[in-house]
Amino acid sequence: MSRTRRILLGTSMMLTVLISSMSSNAVILTIPSLAADLGVGQVEAQWVSSAYSLAFGCGLLFAGRMADIYGRKYLFLGGLTCTLVFCVISGFMPNLMALCIVRAISGLGLAVATPAGFGILGVTFREEPERTIAFSCFGLGNPVGASVGMLVGGAVSGASRQGWQHLYFVLAGLCVLPLGLGIWAIPADPKRPAHLPPPDRRVDWLGGVLITAALCLFTFSITASGVAPAGWRTPYVPALLAVSVVLFVAFGFWERHVERNTTLPPVAKLSMFTRDGWSMTYILLTAFCPFVAIAGWVYLVSLFYQEYMHMSPLGNAIHSLPASICGIFAAVAVMFIVPRMRAPYVLMIGGFLSGVACIIFAAVPADAPYWSGQFVAMLCLPFGADLTVGIGSILMSNLCEDGEQSVGGALFQTATQIASALGICISSLVVSNVAEQKGSFLTGIQHAFGMCTAWAWIVVVIATCTNLRKMGLAKNVGHGRAVH
């Protein structure tokens, strides 16, 4: 493959992640204008954003397995096409219910495309330093999408009451770029050598239903706890959470049975988690813990600025913009740091700095100047996300066989999605409970920031007290499996 084609391939994958990130960040800022235009409350209008996130998070793992079976290129292009079409339709939806349904379908499209794109990178870029650069660019889409999303979302929401509609047309237009690049730049899926048996294309449908339902109910219950009138006291919220836990356990037992006692290929081999001394499990944990803290931080910062400081959503976005911009530099830094620094050190630095961002808001007085504390926190936070996503993606890909690349990417992305939902949930619980006990909303926010600090710093414990401490450079992990 020519150098130009490789660059365009990496650009296509980065743009896909950018669109996913932008879809989440920009839509949140349009909620006030959307609610006013459709004549609904802002709490109800939040389901437009939640429907997308729910569908995206729930579809990742099973979509990753389907990409590994039926071909990553076609699922990548099909998923992007679905997102493009339903972004256009979103701009014409006349009521909230229809818009939520269409946004959910759009989220499913990206849930199909994203793990397929991860797998395409994993089997295409095998040599260093191209492999590290490719996955660094893949992760770069997150902070770039967040930055652009905040600017575009704030601009269209302030343009007019119908400005939210324009956002979906912008997203649809952006989808054309990776779709067009992908059609030309993505190589055809490699053909299996003639002397090997044909691939097993059977699908573990029961496993797919179990994990998709579990993820859907878990994420829905966490989301509903924040928008239901009575929160966790609403009867169906804890009930759905309990059912999701049962389904997760059932999925684990079923996949164990399928892998050990049948010839049916499982959705995700449980043996993947114990591979190389449980390395994959520890990597997923080092992604899960900081994303609990980061999602909690983003939620708490919005409460601090909008509820306590009484800023507008646009004011909140402007004050938080340095975090997104710094995230771009953090993601770019991955391609320079990862080839030179041992993997556990990179993970520890990311988690530690995100913890610092949390503890600044917990300890620095609320009336302190923005530049003396809050701005420093904005600069520290992105490293937990962007260093973790960059090096975590490389490690996951290196630990997966060629036929598991998309599933490996989906596992990593699902871990961060669940962590994000959980971070918002437990942060809201801490704020409400402490504020009720202490009689101070600010105290509740500060306690929740302290809790997020602990989650971020757990990464340091995992990286020093588990098998991760023996890891060297990321490029040498799993050598001989995905990297040749």
- Please report, for the chain, the start and end positions of each structural domain, with discontinuous segments joined by +: 1-187, 204-264, 271-484
Residue 342 one-letter amino acid? R
Number of neighbours of residue 120 by Cβ within 10 angstroms = 29
Instruction: Say which DSSP state 402 is in.
Output: G
Q: What is the chain's Cα-based Rg?
A: 21
pLDDT of residue 426: 85
Q: What's the confidence (pLDDT) of residue 436?
A: 85
Tokens read off for 377: 């926190």
DSSP letters, 231-273, are GGGSTHHHHHHHHHHHHHHHHHHHHHHHHHH-SSPPSS-THHH
For residues 46 and 103, give the distance between their C-alpha atoms in angstroms, rounded to a whole number. 12
Q: Among all chains, which residue has been given the structure tokens 């936070």?
A: 381
CB of 96 closer than 8 Å to CB of 173: no
CA distance linking residue 98 with residue 168, whole number of Å: 14
3-state helix, strand, coil in the chain (%, to 5): 80, 0, 15
Whole-angstrom Cα distance, residue 252 to residue 445? 36
pLDDT of residue 482: 45
Spatial separation of the C-alpha atoms in residues 99 and 93, rounded to whole Å: 5
Q: Do domains 1-187 and 271-484 have the same CATH topology?
A: yes
Residue given tokens 């619980």 in the structure block: 429
Is-contact 179 55, C-beta < 8 A? no
Closest by alpha carbon to 405, among 140, 8, 131, 4? Answer: 131
**Cα–Cα distance for residue pair 458/479, rounded to 1 Å:** 27
Pair of tokens at residue 300? 């708490």
Q: Give domain 1-187's CATH superfamily.
A: MFS general substrate transporter like domains (1.20.1250.20)
Would you say the pTM of this structure is higher than 0.75? Answer: yes
What does DSSP assign to residue 333?
Answer: H
Give the pLDDT of residue 158.
Answer: 66
Q: How far apart are CA 282 and CA 392, in angstroms?
A: 10
| Regions in the chain scoring below 70 on pLDDT | 42-43, 157-161, 190, 192-197, 313, 479-484
Classified by CATH at the fold level, domain 271-484 comes out as Growth Hormone; Chain: A; (1.20.1250)
User: What 3 state SS string does 355-397 have?
Assistant: HHHHHHHHHCCCCCCHHHCHHHHHHHCHHHHHHHHHHHHHHHH
Given this model, what pLDDT does residue 325 score?
A: 87
pLDDT of residue 327: 87
- Report the Cα 186 to chain-centroid distance in Å: 23
Describe the crossing of helices 163-185 and 3-29 by its angle, rounded to 10 degrees. 160
CA separation (Å) from 222 to 57, 211, 216, 449, 456?
Answer: 13, 16, 10, 19, 20
Joined together, the tokens standing for residue 139 give 């992760």
Cα–Cα distance, 482 to 467 (Å, whole number):
20
